[in-house]
Chains A and B, each alone.
Chain A
């Protein structure tokens, strides 16, 4: 089944403790992206990657890192999480092409205490 898989689904952590949220897609998509969803603000892009070893900042990159060593994986790294990073996070992917569509994972609910 074609899908975008995120792990974990839920995560509670404490301020300053490094964490990684994994994202994997099995559709051979070139483009992958991370979003955070907050009440009243919709989806805001954190980072995106056009292909392996090619990443760029989205609208809200502060406090986050990403890497794209393989085509299928695009982990989101929080080196020193803070409470304002408590949010619902989504990974998404799509193939190259003008009319291609964006597919989302099921989300990771992160709480930073």
Chain B
């Protein structure tokens, strides 16, 4: 099945640093979603994007829907230890309930 290319696969950063990750696809999506998964838990929705070019924030998190509709970016500003986890992007095609997930970015924050 189709999957999204998500990068980086993992990253170690210092507390206070900004973080950027992205997802790219060969297909166009109508919706981009960003999830965070804490250890031992299910993914929790962080941000949903519905229009090309849309920029949406949720606290220290900012995500953008790429203008080509084939990519999306997530930025975390001033990272803190509780940001540790796996971040997943997901794309959804219009008129369907099918979600394609990225392979995840594992984030580790060093205090």
Contacts and interface: CB of A to CB of B under 8 A. Distances in A.
Interface residues of B, number: 27
A42 B104 contact: yes
B61 to A, nearest CB: 15
A102 B90 contact: yes
A44 B1 contact: yes
A106 B41 contact: yes
B98 interface: yes
Interface in A65-113: 90, 92, 94, 98-99, 101-107
Given A40-B103, A45-B98, A50-B97, A101 B1 contact: no
Interface stretch (B43-51, B52-60, B67-75, B76-84): B43-51
B63 interface: no
Interface of A: 4, 31, 33, 35, 40-45, 48, 50, 58-60, 90, 92, 94, 98-99, 101-107
A35 B94 CA distance: 20
Contact of A42 (B3, B31, B33): B3
A50 B95 CA distance: 13
Interface string B19-44: 00000000000010101000011111
Nearest to A4: B42
Contact of B45 (A48, A98, A101): A101
A106 to B, nearest CB: 5
Contact of A102 (B1, B6, B45, B50): B45
A103 to B, nearest CB: 7
B3 A101 contact: no
Contact of B41 (A43, A44, A58, A107): A107
